[in-house]
Amino acid sequence: MSQYEPRIVGFLCNWCGYAGADLAGTSRLSYPTNIRIIRVMCSGRVEPVFILNAFENGADGVLVAGCHPGDCHYRSGNNQAEKRVEKTKKLLDVLGIGSDRLRLEWISAAEGEKFASVIKDFTEKLRIKGTSPLGKPLEAAPVKHNSAESIHDVLKRTKALYCQECGKCSSSCPITRLDPLYSPRLAVEKALMGLEDAVLTDKGLWSCLTCYLCRQRCPLDIEYDELIRTCRYKASANGIVGNCSHEGVLYSLSRLMANPETRQNRLDWVPQEAEIAKTGDVLYWVGCLPYFHVVFDDIGVKHIDIAQSMLKILNAAGIKPVLLENERCCGHDLSFAGDLANFERLAKMNMTAIKKSRVSTVVTTCPECYRTLKVDYAELFGHPKFEVLHSSEFLANLLNEGKIKFNGKLDKKVSYQDPCRLGRHMGVYDAPRKVITGIPGVELLEMERNRENALCCGVSAWMGCGRHSKQMQMERLAEAKNTNADLLVTACPKCQIHLNCALSEKLPVKREEVTIETCDLSVLVAKALGTDFLS
């Protein structure tokens, strides 16, 4: 350990922290050389993802330094920094990196000595704590899956060679309707003409929601989602990346989970009275809910409620589920963003962990995990011995077998948002509806576009959430509102994030035209069972 020298990345604000470091230098104060300084205009500029990226790339600690409260050059940037650092600390705790590897300090331009002593102290503490658990940064890995394919092979595999250029895809695409620069038809047409560069450099490549509406309707069964995914992989192999929402923090989290050294601390949310087991038949696959709970704490959705509700329901049905201590991101978002290398890493580790648990059924509350575990993992590793079910299917079965019974009544009119991964990708339309209508007193009011025709919530795989996404969300929320329902139930945590996020912002329409409470299916069921351990 005596050899170990911690590497610290410091994000210092131009006006205070950096000036303080400058003063330390000009005052010839000595402090450890372990810090690598990155000057930012304001500590408020430091996104959580900057900090996570530092850890991804081998940092042992991160320091964020800004002006003292009340002294911010931009009035409130440092307040913002404080919130973000708090959030990031929580993420680091869940990731198992530890919140004490991140420090926020207020250092003014006059505090050269404070700067030197903070660095000394932080370095000392990190020396004692030891190196980052992540070890060396991950290296680029070769991709097994279809990596050597030519564009012609991709067209053949995705059946795009059969395209009749009829325009059914483009006139269905919710994005093309708002932004004619992108259309599934034009993407296929360019690829068919052999214009590979044009396809890969097209900005539209990153606009696609892979919501499957075009594929659902295409008479030739062209696999647009797969075509787009492969083209994104090809593009990112050439250094082209799309606009990612939330500055890519969720990709960063996924990549951190792709690190084999990562030991997460992701089960803190399990209530004491809940019964879980080390071994058993049923595994509850939680997905990224513990992370969403932190990242999206400011849009009025408590994601951990979904997991707690599911656990409560399983217990009520007499099932003690197995939870994986080090369950990793399923890799769905990375795979649809073109990062197939990290997707395959995650897939391999997750598959090993599930197999090791010897369960016969994996239940998940996330349709993206559901698709990925059931379809994408099977493509990589062959069909597994365990069965993968979405919570809606599992709950429908429980209801059917009479294993859960509702005592009271829940007087509510609800509408249901079909998640694209659950509905069109996987064909699960009836199970969630059976569960909803199975709750006494609940009336299901369908939106105009439902089931196969449902409109996507506007964002997928954290790709380019922009003007068009917001427009789609407004349209969808207004449609839900028009049903006269009190509650919009979804079966996907992400639909809930995106629809609520839209509502948390300034709206282009009258707020009362689109405001509707949202709720996850499992939360609704848990409420109907009695809400005793829901916070």
Partner 1 sequence: MSEKPTVLVIGGGIAGIQASLDLAGRGFQVYVLEETPTIGGRMAQLDKTFPTMDCSICILAPKMMECFRHPNIKLITYSELKEVKGSVGDFHVKIHKKPRYVDETKCNGCASCTEHCPIEVPNEFDMKLGMRKAIYMPMPQAVPRCMTIDRENCIECKLCSKMCRAGAVDFAQQPQEIDLNVGAIIIATGFDQYDPSEIVEYGYQKIRNVLTALEFERWVCASGPVGGHLLRPADGGIPKKIAFIQCVGSRGRKFGTPFCSSVCCMYATKEALIIREHAPDVSVYIFYNELRAFGKGFQEFVNRAREEYGVKYIRSRPGEIREDPKTQSLTIWYDDTLTREIKSLADVDLVVLCPALLPRAGNKKLAEITGIKLDDCGFFKVTHPLFAPVDTNIPGIFVCGYCQSPKDIPDSVAQASAAAARAAEALALVKVQQVGGGT
CB of 371 to partner 1, least distance (A): 19
Q: Indicate the residue among 84 and 185 with the shorter CB distance to partner 1.
A: 185
Report the distance separating Cα 472 and Cα 311, nearest Å.
33
Q: Indicate the residue among 122 and 224 with the shorter CB distance to partner 1.
A: 224
Report the distance separating Cα 286 and Cα 247, nearest Å.
24
User: What letter would DSSP give residue 515?
Assistant: -
Q: Indicate the residue among 93 and 223 with the shorter CB distance to partner 1.
A: 223
Q: Indicate the residue among 95 and 169 with the shorter CB distance to partner 1.
A: 169
CB of 187 to partner 1, least distance (A): 13
Q: Are strands 412-417 and 61-66 parallel, antiparallel or unpaired?
A: unpaired
User: What letter would DSSP give residue 282?
Assistant: E
CB atoms within 10 A of CB 128: 9
Report the distance separating Cα 480 and Cα 458, nearest Å.
15
For residue 521, the one-letter residue type is: L
Report the distance separating Cα 489 and Cα 483, nearest Å.
13
Residue 414: name the closest of 436, 438, 392, 390 by CA. 436
CB of 442 to partner 1, least distance (A): 23
Say if CB 257 and CB 329 are below 8 A apart: yes
CB of 218 to partner 1, least distance (A): 7
Q: Indicate the residue among 176 and 392 with the shorter CB distance to partner 1.
A: 176
Say if CB 138 and CB 51 are below 8 A apart: no
Q: Indicate the residue among 220 and 276 with the shorter CB distance to partner 1.
A: 220
CB of 162 to partner 1, least distance (A): 6
Q: Which residue in the block uniquely carries the two structure tokens 């890799």?
A: 331
Q: Are strands 487-490 and 442-444 parallel, antiparallel or unpaired?
A: unpaired
CB of 226 to partner 1, least distance (A): 15
Work out the angle between the directed axes of helices 467-482 and 493-503 (0-180°, nearest 10). Answer: 100
Q: Indicate the residue among 199 and 525 with the shorter CB distance to partner 1.
A: 199
CB of 231 to partner 1, least distance (A): 20
Residue 365: name the closest of 494, 213, 240, 458 by CA. 494
CB of 343 to partner 1, least distance (A): 27
* CB-count burial class (<10 Å; 0-12, 13-18, 19+) for 157: middle
Binding site for partner 1 (CB under 8 A): 159, 162, 164-173, 176-177, 180, 183, 185-186, 217-221, 448, 451-453
Q: Indicate the residue among 120 and 168 with the shorter CB distance to partner 1.
A: 168
